[in-house]
Amino acid sequence: MSHQAHSSNRWRIRAGVLAAGFTVALGGGAFHAAAAGGPSLGAARSFAVLGASTVDNTGETAVTGDVGVSPGTAIVGFPPGTIVSGAMHAGDVAAGEAHADAALAYAFLAGMPSIPANNRSNVDLGGLTLAPGVYKFDAEAQLTGALTLDAGGDSGALFVFQVGTALTTSSGASVTVINGGADYDESNVFWQLGSSATLGAGTAFTGNLLAYASVTMVTGTTLNGSALALTGAVTMDGNTVTSPALAGPPVIVPGAPLAPINLTAVPIGVVPCAGSTLSWTDASTNESVFRIFRRDGAAPDFALIGSIATTNAPGTGGAVSFDDQVLDVSTTYTYRVTALSLADGESIASNEVRVEACVVAGGSRLDVDLGRCVITDKSRGRTDAISVKGTYSVIGGVSSDPRMDGVTIQVRAPANLVLVRIEPNDPRWKASKNGVYRWKSSNGGDAPRSSIVIDTRKSEFTLKTKKGEFGSIPVNSITVSLTCQGATGSDTRAWNVPNKLRNGMRAQFTLRK
């Protein structure tokens, strides 16, 4: 039973980590941190400044790139601020899409692995020269003086800074990339901040700032990158903000086929979505093949997943379709299509479309129905708790011992995924004679703790976690997905947010049966 519900509560859940079982995932999809590249900023890539509550400027700030805010609508101080090139998006669809993609990128960055040698906690960044890599700060990060990022001759060198709380720079501080060559793209420098960024007066900064809360630039600061705030404001005062140049317009090869048009994607099957059907309109007469490309989650690149030979029998304006049936659990997929002529070259890409909230295809599926659920977001870090209960039934299959095929439970919202995955025949399972199976994660000091109960007699499941960090960015609904006994199902519900909270709580999400 899939319940699609909408609520007026604009609450979202902050990207968090729940380390239990054997797999940890982050974000609104099954993100895979690429060793050679950071996340795609998606619709946020064109934004030099993007706030969540407001964008507030004082003085003659000059911005090269889009300026936007979402879900808020207030952009203040333009003029005297000016947008050299780009557009203003105050709470519109473009800003909303950019905010969603920025949250996905934030989660991707937070989940990228960092080796122990790159933990720079309690070390001032000033005076350092760093090679490409992922650098971690358990709490705040400070920059006093000059930080040099040495690309080592690699024009695609990636630098990622994971900061547990706030980033602060002193007056006159700087971040500079060297040895990247004339083609180096400064958008390959990322700063993922657990709270806020404050750039001191006269700071010359490089990189994309993705702050959970806010970004503040003091008078005279220059930013070669972007300022993206997920829950708070971007505040400027006589600054220069320049988003690294986007790739130039597509090169149209003379005589090449025209790009396919009107691309759409819809889920296949009862369980959204066991696959997706792509449909588009042929706009050319000389293509030999249509090529289909897909990007998974916040992966940096599109990959070719299939092609369709064409004889142009329908001619221009003909309808074409393609089924993609190999989809992973809870991933957001983005598609585009090109037309290729072996003689004349390849077209530019079609429009892009997305399919979200996919679950694994298979011969059987689960009908999942959520019962009482509570997620508590506490003010003190790593003290959040999750309790999810529900029932399930196997459709098109036979109920079996859940230990044999493993169990996966996910609690998912935009920009957040808590995933507990138990491999088949995990020795930590405890079984009773009445068909109840219990599993607990191993004790890991301060690591999050999880327990799962599968009652095959009553077809009930329970997930409980503690000592995790879940957080709160506003969303409409939360989806819980269960993979058990070789089948997968999910249930999506609007979540009630109480008006009054107990001391020590930032938010609580409840679903009462």
Within 13 A of 212's CA, how many CA atoms are on the CB side?
A: 24
Q: What pLDDT score was predicted for residue 421?
A: 73
**What is the C-alpha separation between 214 and 231, in angstroms, rounded?**
7
pLDDT 10s digits, 82-107: 998 889 999 888 888 888 888 888 88
- Match 């609520």 to its residue by tokens: 7
Distances (CA, A) of 79 to 84, 225, 227, 364, 458: 12, 22, 19, 59, 64
Distances (CA, A) of 179 to 143, 155, 157, 203, 368: 21, 8, 10, 21, 54
Q: What pLDDT score was predicted for residue 216?
A: 96
Q: What pLDDT score was predicted for residue 34?
A: 29
Q: What pLDDT score was predicted for residue 274?
A: 61
Residues in the chain: 513
SS3 for 340-393 is EECCCEECCCCCCEEECCCCCCCCCEEEEEEEEEEEEEECCCCCEEEEEEEEEE
Residue 420, both tokens: 């507990």
- In 3D space, the residue among 203, 201, 158, 196 whose CA is nearest the CA of residue 177 turns out to be 158
165: left (phi over 0), alpha (psi -120 to 50) or beta: alpha
**What is the C-alpha separation between 442 and 261, in angstroms, rounded?**
52
E strands, 414-472, are: 416-422, 430-431, 436-440, 449-455, 460-468
Q: Are 314 and 303 in contact (CB under 8 A)?
A: no
Q: What pLDDT score was predicted for residue 114?
A: 87
Q: What pLDDT score was predicted for residue 7?
A: 26
Q: What pLDDT score was predicted for residue 71?
A: 84
SS3 for 334-346 is EEEEEEEECCCEE
* Prediction pTM value: 0.54
Pairing between strand 159-163 and 133-137?
A: parallel
**Furthest CA-CA distance within the chain:** 74
**What is the C-alpha separation between 380 and 241, in angstroms, rounded?**
34
Q: What pLDDT score was predicted for residue 177?
A: 92
Domains of the chain, CATH where assigned:
42-242 (no CATH), 261-355 (2.60.40.10), 365-511 (2.60.40)
Q: What pLDDT score was predicted for residue 122?
A: 93
Phi, psi of 97 (to 5 degrees): -65, -40
Stretches where the chain sits below pLDDT 70 are 1-37, 246-253, 268-274, 298-300, 311-317, 326-331, 356-365, 379-382, 395-400, 412-419, 443-448, 468-477, 486, 495-499, 506, 512-513
Q: What pLDDT score was predicted for residue 191?
A: 96
Q: What pLDDT score was predicted for residue 226?
A: 95
